[in-house]
Each structure stands twice: as structure tokens, then as C-alpha cells.
Structure 1
Amino acid sequence: MGVTIHDVAARAGVSVATASRALSGQRGVRAENREKVLAAARELDYEPNVVAAALRSRTTHTIGMVVPRIGNPFFATLVESVEKQLQGGQRSLLLANSHYEPETEQRQVRALLDRQVDALIMIPCHRERSGEVLAAAAARVPVIQLDLRVDGFAGSWVGVDNEAGVSQVVRHLLGLGANRLVFVGSRPTDSSAQARLDGFRRAAGEGADVLLGDFSKEWGQQAAERLLAQGPLPEGIVCGNDTIALGVLSELARRGVRVPEDVRVTGFDDIPYAELAQPALTTVRQPQEQIAAEAVRGLGAQLAGDEAASRGVAIAPELVVRASG
């Protein structure tokens, strides 16, 4: 017969009820007793019956998360930050990928809800078409939108002030004398793409040039080709994210264009590759650990029944100046 919770309680010198509360992360357990129980569980190699515990407590201690594209370095590191925050509350993360397809997103959300997740963290892939599944999920479990959000949805959201971030970049470039700017971004199908485009137009003027594609390195390369074909390069290229900027930098380097001597290039997000680019990329840093901590805190408040927990939190981004701009 395997090790039981009675064995763990006996080893720790506490009651079975205390051992159960300590192992499930519930409140009302003194710190010293919690440590004794956890140590005893490790020593005995205790494996709790997760299914039975879930049936008793009506919770699975799992959080579902849907991201548009896990291959995007920004989303990948954001998932890591969220998972790290959840571990502190002894919750596990179930991850799903929507591939920027609303139909796939609907299927993934339904699958997570069928797995009885306690709550859902969602990075909606579309400003409008993600609304239906988001509302359906919110009717069943606590939901928080992360980074991106659906137009008109009144639920919780945590992200950065995208417009403010792009405005910082534009002001920085103008201060360096780069007065003729071009924005290379994504078509505004998601909220960040729209906000960054709006921020550029407000800061640089409605007449400033704009090229829109998607948030990919390939689009950055194509946009750089187009700019080179059009004639004299602008003095600064403001990119909608770092992945686009990396594509722009690679194509400019291939064509013998010097950065920042011939043109300045900036990004947005500060993914791990930004500092490794040649030259190192000037960009806008999203404080991912802070974003993840605020999201998990808000989700925990909702799970605890705090009706006032539903709100929007816009965290200030930070301009990181490096060699490219």
C-alpha cells in the first residue's frame, strides 16, 4: 500500500486535517506546521490523489491560459512569468495556443473549461472576434485578459500602456534629429497593434508614413525591401514589435545599410533577442514579471470572491536605448 496523508500527518506531528490544508495550499495553517508537512511529504515521496482532492474541494488548482502564438518570444517569456507566479500559490498552468485564429481559440478555451480549470488567463487574438468565447468563459470561471483585450469587454485586463511606449520612442528619435519617421507594424486586428499605431500617429503626426503587415520577422524583411525600393530611406523606422525590428535589421544588413548611421531602428517588447541583435536594439520594455504578478494577483482576488477585482491595469513601459537608435 502506498503512502497516505495519514502517514504524512504522523511524520509531521500534525492532524490529518492540518496536513490536508497545508498540502492543498489553503489558509489557516501556521507557517511552521506547513513546513513540517511539506518536508514530511518530500521525505515520504507522497503523491496526493489529485482527482479525489478536486472532487472534495471542487477545485483543480489549475489555471488555463490561451496565447496567440507560443513561438512568439514575447508570449513565451510571458507564459514563463505567469507560471512562476502561479507556483507560489501552488497552482498549475494548462497552456493552449490559438495560432491567431478565433475559431481555434474557441476550441482551445472550451477544451480548457472541459478540463475544469479554476480560472482562465486569456490573450485574445482578435479585438472583436474573440469577444463571444471570452464572454462565454467569463460566465463559467474567473477570467483575466493579459496583454491584449477585446473591444468593449468589461472584465479584467492587465497590460502596458502601448500608446505611451510608442510615444517615448518617437520623442527619443525626434530628439536625435530623426524627423522623417516610418512606422512598420501589424494590421490592427488585435488591441496592441491598434494602440501602437494610434500612438505613432499621435506622436509623429497623421501624415507620417505607415506600413502594416503582421508581427513577424518576415514582414519586417519585406517592409525593409519596400522602403529601399521606394527611394531614400527615412531617418527612423519605428517597428511595432521586436520581431518586426529584427527582420528590418537583417534585411538592412544584407543590403549594406548601416544602422544607426544611415537609419535608426527601434522595436517594442524587449524580447531576449533584442539585446543580442546587431546592432543591439533600442526598444520599449514590457515589465513581464510585474504584468504576470498583477494578473495572478487579480485572478486570485476573483477566485476569493472579490467582486471589485475586475478592473483594467495599464503598467508603464520603459524605453531601453541601445545602439540601433
Structure 2
Amino acid sequence: MSERPPTSHDVAREAGVSQSAVSRVFAEGASVSPAMRARVEAAAARLGYRPSRLPAIMRSGKSDIVAVVIGGLYNPFHTMTLESFTQALAAASKQTLVVRVDNDRDLDEALGGLVSLKVDGVLSALSVSSALAAQELDRYRLPIVTLNSSVQSRWICAVNSDNAEAGRQAAQLLHASGSRHFAGILGPADTLSHSARALGFASTVQGFGDASLQVSHGGYDYEWGRQEGARLLDLAERPDGIFCGNDLIAFGLVDRWAEAGLYAPRDFRIIGYDNMPSAAWSRFALTSYDQNTDLMARSAIELLLRFDECAPCTRVIEPRLVRRTSC
């Protein structure tokens, strides 16, 4: 038995017809008699033949393939987003091409290859960092929908979590729970999501009048949370109300403070962001904001499929607070 996959010529021989007849059977809209179609399809089924989609893609310029660009999978939020994107694309009868990059500055290089593959568009869990970066991406004339980005253009739309409002709510909840010394531990200051969360949190705390506040920006990861947790332990006025830019940061701080004998909510209160599955573990019991990645993904795909009508466009999705015992 041949190791190669069956071709249209093999189907033609099996069915006793010409190769052009096989091509017509599998060409959308081509005129073929019912008897011929049944004969060719039966032969194809016996051989396990599946026609190539490349000719149709080249003719129409549409592949029904959408590229999903994702960042470091060390962060469970990215795997949650990837799952939401792939499920929503399948529901829209689209195929998914997954592309992993390290940061948004790699989008330009990735898109060059994606254009040559004739993908219909790009969904990116990474934001576009600047208007200059958007100009570079626009030259590919490929529809892009990003998550949590402040930059839009002719070819770039965004679906954002309501980051600033979540920061405001977190401050109010911590204050209502009795906190008076506040800390915000966020990711990079040059990202929309973490800068907006910090702004909403800080502006609200400053309005309380009876509160102290400090805000720091750094990494997205567990080690950044541990590092800031160690620094805060040494302060004369240790924070008792902490808002973290994501759950990984919160986990790092919680673990570091547990080593010092401090636990939430007895000694402090803490709120995270993303509502990762591990936030529900009894070790953390972390109150966290759920970005509703399923809704964000569906909204992103809707924008992508209606791109000519919508671009440029931003949609804002309100995150959902999930209360646990940490606050």
C-alpha cells in the first residue's frame, strides 16, 4: 500500500472518470450530474481522499483560517484566552492557526508570514504598543483584533476589559473591608490594562482622605509578586489592602507573606485579576476580577467578521468580581 495520501487522479481511476470530473465534483458551484457526484464521492470515501482547499483559497483570497497570536504560556490567562478563542472560532466555522510570540513587538514579524498563508485575520491576546507599531502593522492590510489595547487604526480593533472601573471597585471594596494602607502591585506601566487598573485604583484611594497609598509596576509573574511582597514587609506601615494587576502577582505576595506568618483576611486583604482556576484553591481563596474571556473572544470574532463595517472600533467588556475569603 502506498504511503502517500490519495490524489484526485487516484479517485478518477477508482471511479472510472476523468480527473477534471473529480475536480468539478469538489468545486463549489460547479455543475455536475447527481449520478456523477455520487460515483466520485463514493470512490473518494473508499480511498480516504480529501480535496485540497488551496485552489479555492487562491481564487477567493479567503481561507476561513484565523490566526490566534498568544504570548507566554507560563501565564494561565493566555491559555484561558486561547481556549476561548478556539471555541468561538469553531462556533463561527473558522479554523485556528496558533502563533506564539514573546511580546507585542514580535507581531510585525509574525504578520509577514501570516499574510503569505492567506489567513482571513488575526486575533491577538497581546496589545499593540504604539501608534508607530500600528502603522507598521497596517501596511499588511490584514484585519487585527487585539485584547486590552489603547491603539486602534484602519486595520486594528480592540476588545478591552474595563480595567479602570475594576481598579476603582477594588479600592472601594478594600476600603469597605477596613483597609486604610493601600498598595497596588501592577504589571508593566506601558500596557493599557495595568496602567488603567493602577489609575482607577489610585484615583479612588486618593479620594478617601484617611488612606496611605503606594503603587509599583513591574512584571506579570509570580516572582514579581514575591519580590514586592518582600519589600512591603520591610515597611514601617505595612499595607493592609492590596490590589494586584493579575492573579500570578497576588499568588507570589500571598506565598511570601505566609512565610512571614501573615494571612488574608486576618492580617491583610488582597484582590487579584483574571480569576485563574488556581485562585479558587484553598491556599489562596483569592477574590479576583474575571475578564470574561469567552465574551471577549466572541466580541473579537464578531468585530473580525464585520471588519469593514466596524473598523476602527473599541468594545469594552465589564469584568465580573468573584468574591472569596481574601477580601
Q: TM-score, normalised by structure 1?
A: 0.81
Q: Cα distance 1:95–1:258, how it changes in 2: closer, same or farther (>3 A)?
A: same
Partner of 1:62: 65
> Is the aligned partner of 1:105 residue 2:107?
yes
Deviation at 1:17, TM superposition (A): 7.9
Correspondence list, 1:22-171, <5 A = 45-100=48-103, 102=105, 104-122=106-124, 123-124=126-127, 126-127=129-130, 130-137=133-140, 140-145=141-146, 147-151=147-151, 153=153, 155-171=156-172
Deviation at 1:240, TM superposition (A): 0.8
Distance 2:250 2:131 in 1: 27
Unaligned runs of 5+ in 1: 8-15, 23-37
Distance 1:41 1:300 in 2: 33
Instruction: Letter of the 2:90 partner, please give it.
Output: Q
Conserved in 2, the CA contact under 8 Å of 1:223 and 1:248? yes
Distance 1:41 1:215 in 2: 51
CA RMSD of aligned residues (A): 3.0
What secondary structure does 2:171 align onto? Answer: helix
| Deviations 1:198-227 (CA, angstroms, capped at 9, x unpaired) | 111121118621122111110000000000
Deviation at 1:272, TM superposition (A): 1.8
Distance 1:17 1:272 in 2: 50
Deviation at 1:277, TM superposition (A): 5.4
Q: Cα distance 1:241–1:214, how it changes in 2: closer, same or farther (>3 A)?
A: same
Distance 1:142 1:152 in 2: 11
| Deviations 1:235-286 (CA, angstroms, capped at 9, x unpaired) | 1111011111111111111222111100111101112221125131101111
Distance 1:20 1:275 in 2: 51
Q: Cα distance 1:314–1:254, how it changes in 2: closer, same or farther (>3 A)?
A: same
From 240, 263, 267, the counterpart of 2:268: 263
Distance 2:289 2:46 in 1: 46
> Is the aligned partner of 1:238 residue 2:243?
yes
Greater shift, 266-275 or 40-49, is seen at 40-49
What secondary structure does 2:321 align onto? Answer: strand
Instruction: Letter of the 1:61 partner, please give it.
Output: D
Distance 2:25 2:252 in 1: 56
Deviation at 1:152, TM superposition (A): 5.8
From 289, 300, 313, the counterpart of 1:284: 289
Distance 2:172 2:27 in 1: 56
Deviation at 1:197, TM superposition (A): 1.2
Deviation at 1:309, TM superposition (A): 5.2
Distance 1:222 1:43 in 2: 62
Q: Cα distance 1:116–1:280, how it changes in 2: closer, same or farther (>3 A)?
A: same
Distance 2:224 2:114 in 1: 32
Partner of 2:315: 313
| Deviations 1:107-137 (CA, angstroms, capped at 9, x unpaired) | 1122222222111123225345633333234
What secondary structure does 1:274 align onto? Answer: helix
Conserved in 1, the CA contact under 8 Å of 2:6 and 2:47? no
Instruction: Letter of the 1:257 partner, please give it.
Output: L
Q: Cα distance 1:78–1:43, how it changes in 2: closer, same or farther (>3 A)?
A: farther
Distance 1:219 1:131 in 2: 29
Greater shift, 153-162 or 258-267, is seen at 153-162
Correspondence list, 1:242-253, <5 A = 242-253=247-258
Conserved in 2, the CA contact under 8 Å of 1:169 and 1:319? no
Instruction: Letter of the 1:163 partner, please give it.
Output: A
> Is the aligned partner of 1:197 residue 2:202?
no
Q: Cα distance 1:175–1:211, how it changes in 2: closer, same or farther (>3 A)?
A: same
- Pairs aligned (count): 297
Distance 1:115 1:94 in 2: 10
Instruction: Letter of the 1:276 partner, please give it.
Output: W
Unaligned runs of 5+ in 2: 15-22, 30-40
| Deviations 1:56-102 (CA, angstroms, capped at 9, x unpaired) | 33222211222332332111111111111111233222222331261
